[in-house]
Structures are given as C-alpha cells and as structure tokens.
Amino acid sequence: MSEQSGPITREQVERAIAKPRNIDYRELPLWWREWAPDYVIAAEAADDWDAEHAALTRWRDELAAAEPVPPEVVDVPQPRIVVKRCDEVEAEWTSADATILIVTHDALDDAIFVPIALLRAMLEAIDAQQGGAS
C-alpha cells in the first residue's frame, strides 16, 4: 500500500489491474477514491469485474497520456580534427571548416588560414606538370 498523499500514479493503477481476473485495490492508497474519476467509483460500486477493469484501464491510460513526454536526446555531431606536422610547419583541419590552418613553429610563429580549394588546385596543377605524381 502506498504512503503517498498526492494524486494516484499510472504505475499504481497498473499494479491494481495487473493480475488476471483480479483487481487489487490494495495497490492503491487508502484515499484513492478522493482522486479517482467518477466512472471508476461507479464501476467499483456496481461490483462488476469487467466494468471495474475497463474503468481502471481507462484511468490508467488517461494518467499515462497526461505524463510529460521526456525530451528527445539526440547526438550532436562533433567536428573531427586532423593535425599533421612536417619539421616546423603544422597544418590543422576541422571537418566543419573549408580552410586549413597552417602554423610555423619557428621564431615567427606565423599562422594563416588557407582555403582547401586553393590547396587542391595547387596539388592538381603540380600533378599535371609532373605527370600525375605529386
């Protein structure tokens, strides 16, 4: 029996009608009639198992429909980062960007964003001049 003093929950009503051909009102708090809809009270008073079960099932469904819908959790794609280094020059690319950050790790520590399209065009031109091998 519940010690709760607030509204009846869907789970409590569900437990009361869980057993076949048996409604266990002990699963509900003693004061359940204060919170029950009129149609449940009327069905219980009629002492008709089918009517009681139908009324409690309807009440359970109404309680379930009134429960807040939990917010949907979605995956948020994270950008991938690729970093390459050759001697004192480092290149960093993030999948969300159309540029590559080129950084020199020398006395100047210069940095420049280079469009990927420019690098591709340069590599294609170099390949064309060298006969396909860059």
- pLDDT given for residue 60 in this prediction: 94
Q: Count of domains in the chain?
A: 2
Does residue 62 share a domain with residue 85? no
Choose among 85, 16, 2: nearest CA to 55: 16
pLDDT tens digits along 38-97 = 999 999 999 888 999 999 999 999 999 998 888 898 888 888 899 999 988 899 988 888
Boundaries of domain holding 85 = 81-130
Same domain as 101, residue 54: no
Q: Are residues 24 and 60 in the same domain?
A: yes
Q: Which pLDDT value is given to residue 133?
A: 58
pLDDT confidence tier of residue 1, bands split at 50, 70 and 90: very low
Q: What is the pLDDT of residues 97-132, one digit of tens each?
A: 888 899 988 877 788 899 989 989 998 998 998 886
Same domain, 20 and 62: yes
Asked if residue 73 belongs to a domain, the reply is no
